[in-house]
Amino acid sequence: MRVPTVRVALTLILMTPPMEASAETGLPDPVPLAPAEEHRQSAPGQVVPRQVGARTDLPHRYIVPGPQGFPGGLAYDRITDRFFTGSTQDGTLFVGKPERVETQVWMRGGVHGRTTTSGMMTGEDGRLYVGGGPTNRMWIYDISSRQLLATLSGVPGGFVNDIALAPDGTAYATDSIRHLIYRIAEQAGRWSMEPWLDLDGTPVERVDGHNLNGIVAIDDENLISVHSQSGKLYRINRLSKEVRQVEMGDTLLFGGDGLVWHGDRLYVVRGGLSPQNPQPQVSVLRLAEDRLSAEVESVITNPDFLHPSNARVVHDRLLVVNSQYNTGQNGGQPQLPFTISAIPLAD
């Protein structure tokens, strides 16, 4: 079914007073953890050294509490130096500090109708964007007050997945089922989430199940997105809406999920659940200046990776969410505790 790119009102504005926290935001003292063995290999198989300037006094992993945490997305607020993740099972939002091992509940699941989460993003304006996956919603919060600024709904039957924030403050979100990209914006206190780009008729192939997944803004003009099932990358121009495939030779990023743009490198989180991508990893790519070709420069693996789903750079380290999404979807027993791995980056 073709999704029209009409500009229809898909916005529900909710203004509520600040909620009383379900848990204090002050976190306990860190519990010492033995460093997890990590492996970083360059394309030819050479070990990539740790970054000399990275802090060594920070935890090597973070704990997401509870037997049903199943974290999915990840966001980092540079201003308050806090990171956020959310449960894909019940919508609970968690908050952590880089120096503390334990994260804590920031807002209970079910509040504001939030029963699951997907991608997450923060802006320099102190806002937290939370995708709602199969609920086809997005919630936007003020970080300092925890006030809900808006609840937005997409095209019926959609899956609001990952979120990118452009330098001008405009947000974009992939709909992995309805094969489109939303544009999220605020004007005079009113929020909107509208279909911005219909991907039918573009080079992005449409398959049964999930299509475009991770998305990231890499400069003023361009977005990069990965197709989970085909393993292909696409450059999307925000000004012209032109979509072009990024040439990678024989390389395909099967299972591509969250994307991070840092230090002129693209980090592609890959869950490792298919015969084409049996090992969980983060592929590190160098893009050409025109962003139309790329090559894998190195691969990050770690024995702690359990279906990694998303990542963010925090204090010269790549924080990688171990979602155990496959276990949660199949009703299996997760490996406790749920964790977020912290990998020192190379120079």
pLDDT digits (tens, 9 = 90+) for 260-286: 999 999 999 999 777 788 899 999 999
Is residue 70 pLDDT above 80, yes or no?
yes
How far is residue 295's CA from residue 46's CA, in Å, rounded to a whole number?
A: 16
Q: List Cβ neighbours of 27 (8 Å cut-off, separation of 6 or more).
A: 96, 97, 100, 102, 103, 104
Q: Give the pLDDT mean for 316-322.
A: 98
pLDDT score, position 53:
47
Confidence of residue 54 (pLDDT cuts 50, 70, 90): low
Sign of CA dihedral 196, 202, 204, 209: positive
At 101, the amino acid letter reads V
Per-residue pLDDT reduced to its tens digit, 200-220: 999 999 999 899 999 999 999
Q: Give the pLDDT mean for 331-347.
A: 91
pLDDT score, position 1:
36
Domains (ranges, CATH) in the chain? 57-344 (2.120.10.30)
Q: Give the pLDDT mean for 115-126.
A: 97
Closest CA relative to residue 248, chosen from 204, 216, 292: 292
Confidence of residue 3 (pLDDT cuts 50, 70, 90): very low
Q: Retrieve residue 237's tokens.
A: 């121009």
What's the pTM value of the predicted model, to 2 decimals? Answer: 0.85
Confidence of residue 347 (pLDDT cuts 50, 70, 90): low
Output the average pLDDT for the chain: 86
- CB-based burial, 87-103: b 16+ in 10 Å, e otherwise: bbbbbbbbbbbbebbbb
